[in-house]
Chains A and B, each alone.
Chain A
Amino acid sequence: MKAAAASPHLDVRNVMWLLAAMAFVVAPHLSHLPYWVDAFFVVIVAWRGWMAWKALRHPSRWLMALLTIGASLATLRQYHTLSGREAGVALLILMMALKLLEMRAQYEVTLSIYLGFFLVITNFLFSQTIPLGLYMLVCVWIFIGTLVGFNRVGTSPTLGERMRPAAALLLQAIPLMIALFVIFPRATGPLWALPQDSRSGASGLSESMSPGNISNLIKSDAIAFRVQFDGDRPPFSKLYWRGPVMTEFDGMTWSVPPIAPAGVVEYSKREGRVDYTVILEPHNKSWVFALDVPGKLPPGTYVLGDLEVRDRRPVAERRYYEMSSFLDYRYGETTSQGALKAMLKIDETRNPRTIALAHKWAAEYPDKRALLQQVFQFYNREFSYTLEPPLLDPQNPYDDFLFDSKQGFCEHYAGSFALIMRAAGIPARVVTGYQGGEVNPINRELVVRQADAHAWVEIWIPEEGWVRIDPTGAVSPLRVESGVNAALGPIGMIPTLVAADPLGVLPRIRDSWRALNSQWDQWVVGYNSEKQRQFFMQFGASSVDWQTLGVWLIGATFGIGSIISAFLFVRDLPPRREASVAAWDRYCRKLAATGVTRAPSEGPLDFLERVRRERPHLAESAAEITRRYIEARYGDGANRGELRDLARRVREFRPA
């Protein structure tokens, strides 16, 4: 019976809730923002909380203006821009904090919560995984709970009174949300040009390779791409996913030529066709990955003279493409002398000992096979395969590697091997890409990770053309046969746990989780216009254009809207009349039809007396019905069976 004359106000607990929600939503950003932004946010939020708690005065306009200008300038100084992903997010968080500080009125709270929704979406620029999605769902839940709190008047709601209505709103919103997500027409490209750093997923291979950079990449568990084979999967040792081909060499670094080699390739043999679909994660470079000799090419791509497949645009979004490759091939026997000569170029002044060794071997073994055998034996004897190779002399790195440290990773072997080949007069080039992968037993999908990054060598032999040689295989055959984890032992925490689990429970959990992620990536994160077309086609939609989707959208909105309204409406209807009362009313109606009408004031027993007097032949059944009604209504109550019995007696009651 309390009435509050106050209008909605900024209750301390409400303010605290809002601050907590903001802290939650900003938390994932803290790790990649500059420390001063983190500190600024934390201090301002703490200050605002203290202010609300102690009912202190707001800072003056001058101080606010000073803080705003200061924060903007500091951001500009840090990033040299105010747009772009990193700078934009930093600026948004700084301004958000200041907005919280000056917030006084109800509408400013609402504005802050809307800004909070923008902060939620900025998180998705960095990651769209299932855990982050769930975390952000919780954040949205808290925001809506906060909004509910600010819309209560007089009393401050309890935790449940905030979170339950918010949960109800969100849960009831889910069906329509899913419908909108599926049906809302997807554009095929961005509305305007995106800043360079707008999307995440920049990890991957680069245009050059020097000792150390692949072994850095290999520590990443991130997925490079996924493959679904149409038929049988070729053995792991045949899975060489070719990426950038490096022909330029300066004594230390191998790199992609500045001018792409012309794309006319003549094959003398193309067999062993394999068909597969690749889901490529964005890596912001133009190459796409294919096994050996590409057959069918996805639209928008082209193949170079060194069999490198490139897209016309950098891969900035996840891409799906169907491909076919030939694993048994021969090409390049007729390569021109000029082109081959370029594949022999080395800097004679660097790595002198390696070059001298190559010259010596070339003289000793004129037969190329014998020479290769010698080199393999050399590697096989003393070298070891390791993820943590020692630092090399920057002037003569391959001398240092081959004669002193003798420990290296694939780029050391590929780099040094190609150098030896060139010095020995055999045209050679380094190919980087991925080797192998891991099959998920749940969905038979081959997952290739950054950890599977690899480098190998192709040499040119007359009559044979370009032939792949993998010197790492000479040192660690396990790497090529079974993958990097088998060769180096488990890398990272999860593989270590998996290796330590004798029952094999963890691998199954891991595989299921990965399969779930794959579905998520394909159908949620990767739901684009193409997937949308596929989805509607499978329901027999003839065309999937804006009009069709518009009709679907309106239909779904109204359909789901009516169901939810009906659900809410029914819950509020007054309870149905008790079954016993319904039966009794029916009994009275039946009697009334024959002229015995119960007066409103007449109790059941009085009425029964009258029925006995006026309709003696009904006395028995009427007494039975009355007794049961009184018992159900005024006595101990009745169970379902008794109520059904009463209803049956009334139904069979024939007063006429």
Chain B
Amino acid sequence: MVANLRQSISDWIFRARAPESPPVTLVQRRIFILPTRQGYSFAFAVLVLLVASINYALALGFVLTFTLVSMAGVAMLHTWRNLAHMKLRPGRCDSIFAGETAQFAITLETPSATRFAIAVRRRDGDPVYADVIPHGTTAITVPVAAPRRGVLRCGRLEIFTRYPVGLFHAWSYVDFDLKAIVYPRPDPEAGAPPMHSKSDTEEGIPVAGDEEFNLLRTYRAGDAPKLIAWKALARERGLLTKEFSAMASSELWLDWDDARAPDTESRLSVLSQWVIQAERFGQGYGLRIPGVSIPPDRGEAHRTRCLEALALFAQ
């Protein structure tokens, strides 16, 4: 209960602000600092040392006590400074499939010396540590589990440090509105996508490893590596892509109505699997789901477009 109360007080004090535009510099007023639990026990130890020094009239005991007190004061400034003036930018957040872990990255830059033991964490999450070295950027990625399809928001991140002596916890919040798109989890049971091309030829998709292809064409960005004619490359004929006759001639439509599944999410999983398969075989494919119709095409960009449409369906 106390923890809850503390959390709500802290939420009230550090109310979420609107997402910020990069870069964010951790200026003085953005950094908060409080003693850690170790800091409080250190204070207690110093108090005992002080009482001992007074009682035994130990001059060097006083020297020790006051050295430690002053050291703690200086350590507070150092801990604060370890965070101050750092520049933060949002980093890559790759799209993933539901059930995987999203990696939200932010990059940090120090204007001066190395910042040791800088940690980043989400609320209730485990911190990730790194040393931020000068002349360059350091990326810290925070892993977040993505159980469901849709848009996964990273939310506010806490950047904190306890370096150099762990007596103080200096922290700051930053919210870049980091998002990752979570594709529907591909259904492994989905089987092959049904072939009903416009020309109504009832050909199936060639199975993987089928060596029968009718022509080689020049490589286009986005062609699957397994379709590259490596033998041709070895003969120094350049980078060529194998094109299978069935695929070259037919256009595959991945249709909402063909995906037989009990509910929407399962349907999306099936479609997700089909998109992956179709792309893997170099098949040109289109996607038709309620409200969205993506004409047939191929390549990484097309695949992403289709998967995103599935991820954001009805959201």
Contacts and interface: CB of A to CB of B under 8 A. Distances in A.
Interface of A: 1-8, 107, 110-111, 114, 117-118, 120-121, 124-125, 128, 132-133, 136-137, 140, 144, 147-148, 150-155, 157, 161, 165-166, 168-170, 172-177, 180-181, 184, 186-187, 190-192, 194, 198-199, 317, 524-528, 557, 561, 564-565, 568-569, 571-574
A640 to B, nearest CB: 25
A148 B165 contact: yes
A171 to B, nearest CB: 9
Nearest to A317: B57
B16 interface: no
Contact of B41 (A111, A157, A175, A524): A111
Given A190-B57, A192-B55, 12 more contacts: A3-B129, A3-B138, A111-B41, A114-B41, A124-B58, A151-B162, A176-B70, A177-B66, A528-B57, A564-B74, A568-B81, A572-B85
B67 A3 contact: no
A124 B64 contact: yes
Interface stretch (B110-118, B149-157, B206-214, B220-228): B110-118
B126 A152 contact: no
Most buried by B among A6, A180, A198: A180
B170 to A, nearest CB: 12
A166 B164 CA distance: 8
B295 interface: no
A111 B129 CA distance: 23
Contact of A572 (B55, B70, B111): B111
Contacts of B63: 133, 177, 181, 524
A165 B61 contact: no
28 contacts: A2-B131, A3-B129, A3-B141, A5-B126, A7-B126, A117-B45, A117-B49, A118-B49, A121-B60, A124-B64, A137-B67, A151-B162, A169-B71, A169-B164, A170-B71, A174-B67, A176-B66, A177-B69, A181-B62, A184-B62, A184-B66, A186-B54, A187-B57, A527-B59, A528-B57, A561-B77, A568-B81, A569-B81
Give the interface SS of chain A, mostly helix, strand, loop or mixed: helix
Contacts of A151: 116-117, 162-166
Contacts of B53: 121
Contacts of A107: 37-38
Contacts of B85: 572-574
Interface residues of B, number: 56
Interface of B: 37-38, 41-42, 45, 48-49, 51-64, 66-71, 73-75, 77-78, 81, 84-85, 111-112, 116-117, 119, 126-131, 136, 138-141, 162-166
Contacts of B62: 181, 184
Contacts of A564: 74, 77
Contact of A144 (B38, B48, B71): B71
A572 B81 contact: yes
Contact of B78 (A147, A153, A192, A568): A568
B56 A140 contact: no
B66 A181 contact: yes
Given A181-B66, A187-B54, A3 B77 contact: no
A316 to B, nearest CB: 9
Nearest to B117: A153
Contact of B56 (A7, A125, A154, A557): A125
Given A5-B128, A148-B165, A155-B131, A172 B38 contact: no
Nearest to A111: B41
Contacts of A190: 54-57
Closest 5 CB pairs of A and B: A173-B70, A176-B70, A153-B129, A180-B66, A114-B45
Contacts of A153: 116-117, 119, 129, 131
Given A117-B64, A190-B56, A572-B111, A110 B166 contact: yes
A165 B164 contact: yes
Contact of A128 (B58, B112, B141, B163): B58
A137 B68 CA distance: 11
A642 to B, nearest CB: 28
A565 B128 CA distance: 28
Contacts of B140: 3
A565 B164 CA distance: 16
B234 to A, nearest CB: 35
A614 B10 CA distance: 62
**Residue among A152, A177, A571, A572 with most chain B CB within 10 A:** A177
Given A117-B64, A133-B60, A177-B63, A572 B112 contact: yes
Contact of B67 (A170, A524, A527): A170
Contacts of B116: 151-153, 157, 161
B64 A174 contact: no
B127 to A, nearest CB: 7
A176 B139 contact: no
